[in-house]
Amino acid sequence: MRNDEPSVLKQLARLSTIGISLVAATAIGLLIGYGLDRWLGTSPWLTMIFTIFGIVAGFLNLFRELGLIQRNW
Amino acid sequence: MTTERPGVNEKGSGGKGIWALLAVLVLFNLTIGLLFAPRHVELHHAPIVQLPNFLAFLGVPGEYLPAHVTFTWLVMVILVVGGALGSRALQAVPGPLQNVAEVIIEAFHGLLDQMIGKQGRQFLPLVGTAGLFILTSNLLGNLPGFQAPTANWNTTVALALTVFVSYNYFGIRKHGLTNYLKHFCGPVWWLAPLMFPIEFIGHLARPVSLSVRLFGNIFGEESVIVILLSLAWLVMPYFIWLGVMLPLSLFTAVVQTFVFIMLTMVYIAGAVEEGHGEEHP
């Protein structure tokens, strides 16, 4: 079932996972940081730190998912 | 000089014919459009299947039940009846319905074996149900008068939360709670305070991206079709719908189902994997 050249369907499936994974992780990080800041009153710091965490998490998720999908097809 | 071939001539005249046809079509459009332009266009016609709101005592608003709930139940009825017909009176030499059911199950088995490995087949109930439900409802949305339940964010959030809770449960069942949480902390102990929030955010982002992707694709495609068909008195949008949007939306339905179950299997594989967090060659 494994071909040398992946079909259009599989390539589209692979590519269409990219965008939203990045954005969702960044947004979640931003929201957590913002919530913690409002709760603890440490205004810009936690927002910044958790946004950076979110961006890193987005890239980590992206590499992991794409790697797993590519390895198994 | 090349000799003149009849094919060249025919091709040239065919090209002219296409332009003439287009011109006639545009003229036709304009006349029809000017003659029959409606005063107002109804964007939302009532869905075909409507149930009276018998849940009003629970606080559900409206005269009828929300369309996505009704159509979710319709998809459930289709799947249950199809499953019952396909698995009734199993025989060694399958009849047509049993044959279809076996082909579907074998396709899912193949995907599970490929993505998760030899322990993959125990996850067939989750992955197969999600895949069949999403595929059926995406395709149902293409029939006029029907709405895809997946074009509503509530449905896709429910699906994504189910996947989120169950892959974490599978991971905890397989490794135990402390071991599963240890995988969140990365390979080196002094990186743990950095890795834990990153992994935590990454896991929280998964249901969000799953649900938004499915909902956005189906809802966007449905909105484009609604707007296009609200201009159907111009005649041309009708052909655009038949020629471009309908094949495109059938394609989107299959691709989005594929992406959803693919990512579900990736998450389950990540949670259940033996040497979790280490890279295998």
CB contact under 8 A, A24 and B208: yes
Indicate the pLDDT class of residue B162, thresholds 50, 70 and 90: very high
Q: What is the pLDDT of residues B210-238, one digit of tens each?
A: 899 899 989 888 888 888 877 767 777 77
Q: What is the pLDDT of residues A38-65, one digit of tens each?
A: 888 887 888 888 888 888 888 888 887 7
| CB < 8 Å to B110, chain A | 1
Does ipTM come in above 0.85? no
For chain B, the maximum distance between any two Cα atoms, rounded to a whole number of angstroms, is: 86
Residues 6 or more apart from B227 whose CB is under 8 A from it?
B43
Q: Which residues, numbered 248 to 277 in chain B, qualify as contacts with chain A under a Cβ-Cβ cut-off of 8 Å?
A: 254-255, 258-259, 262-263, 266, 269-270
To the nearest 10°, report the CA torsion of B270, B274, B278, B281: -100
Q: Where are the alpha helices (DSSP H) in chain A?
A: 8-15, 18-40, 43-72
- Say whether pLDDT at B9 is over 60: no
User: Both tokens of residue B116?
Assistant: 């998760």
B211: nearest Cα among B162, B138, B266: B162
| 3-state helix, strand and coil shares in percent for chain B, rounded to the nearest 5 | 75, 0, 25
CB contact under 8 A, A28 and B205: yes
DSSP of B247-272: HHHHHHHHHHHHHHHHHHHHHHHHHH
**What does the mean pLDDT of chain B come to?**
79
DSSP of B106-137: HHHHHHHHHHT-TTGGGGHHHHHHHHHHHHHH
- Say whether pLDDT at A66 is over 80: no
